[in-house]
A = this chain, B = another copy of it.
Amino acid sequence: MEISKILANQTRVDILKWLKNPEDNFPPHQDIDHFNDGVCVGYIQDKAGLSQSTISTYLNAMQHVKLVIPTRHGKWTYYKRNEEVITNYLEGLQKEL
C-alpha cells in the first residue's frame, strides 16, 4: 500500500502520533526502561483498541513503506518512527501540492 493511503487511516496516523511521545502515551516496558527502539505491539494494540491481527497488519504496512522501524527484542517487536521518511514525505507533499 502506498504512503498516502496508509496515512488516510486515522488509527495509523494516531499510531504515528503516539510514537512521537511514548512516555506520554504508553506504560513503561518491563525488561527495557526506555523507548529507544519504540513501543511493543501489545501496547499499541491496547491503546488503539483494535484486534491484534489488525494492528500487526497495520504496522507491517507502515514498515513496508518505512514509516516505522521495527526492532526485535526477544519475544517482542518494538516499533519506532522513521523521522527521516516522515519528514521527507511531508516536504514532498508541501512541494507538489
Nearest CB of B to A61, in Å: 13
Q: Is chain A's binding surface mostly helix, strand, loop or mixed?
A: helix
**A93 and B90 contact, CB distance less than 8 A:** yes
Interface locus among A1-9, A52-60, A70-78:
A1-9
**Number of contact residues on A: which range applies?**
10 to 19
Using an 8 Å CB-CB cutoff, how does the interface string of A1-28 with B read, 1 for contact, 0 for none?
0001101100001001100000000000
Contacts of A90 in B (CB 8 A): 90, 93-94, 97
**B4 and A97 contact, CB distance less than 8 A:** no
| Residues of chain A at the chain B interface (Cβ within 8 Å) | 4-5, 7-8, 13, 16-17, 86, 90, 93-94, 96-97
